[in-house]
Amino acid sequence: MHPDCERILLTEEEIHLKVKELAAQISRDYSDRELLVVGILKGSVIFLADLVRNITVPTRFDFMAVSSYGASSKSSGVVRILKDLNQGIEGRHILIVEDIVDTGLTLSYLVDNLKTRGPVSIKVCTLLDKPSRRMVDVAVHYNGFQIEDHFVVGYGLDYNERYRNLPCIMVLSPNVYKGGKKA
């Protein structure tokens, strides 16, 4: 366990089993189609890598980077695209892969933005979902785990660019993000 964390919320084993389950469902749903997986940087990278290795249909992937947090622990509500897709999505089936859906503001913005580019379909896959924090209604088609309102890190999720490399998902101590300890 990391000293900046209070407890382990999801173990490596729980995460890997859920990723395989999600990949199997996605593979069934897209059995006769090619899929373009859009990973949202940086948090989704580890999840996306494990997910696409378990998807059995023809799959390509690309990345977008967006920001609504900066160095804060709370979303500003203003979404900025920092890196756009490298390829067009017109006429394609899109699966957005997120590490966590919190307020829904970022995801809602992304879905609306990508819809204007002419894809056949857009679905969303997230590892974690915090429905208690939702500010806008967004459809999540593939959901790993619903969690309570904890600040979590690990398996790609960060606080101030740290903790992404932890192999499990842990609850970060409030002392770290509320000013008691420098991260």
62 is catalytic: no
Candidates 102, 129, 137, 158; catalytic one:
102
Q: What phi, psi does 99 have (nearest 5°)?
A: -75, -40
Q: Provide the annotated active-site residues.
A: 102
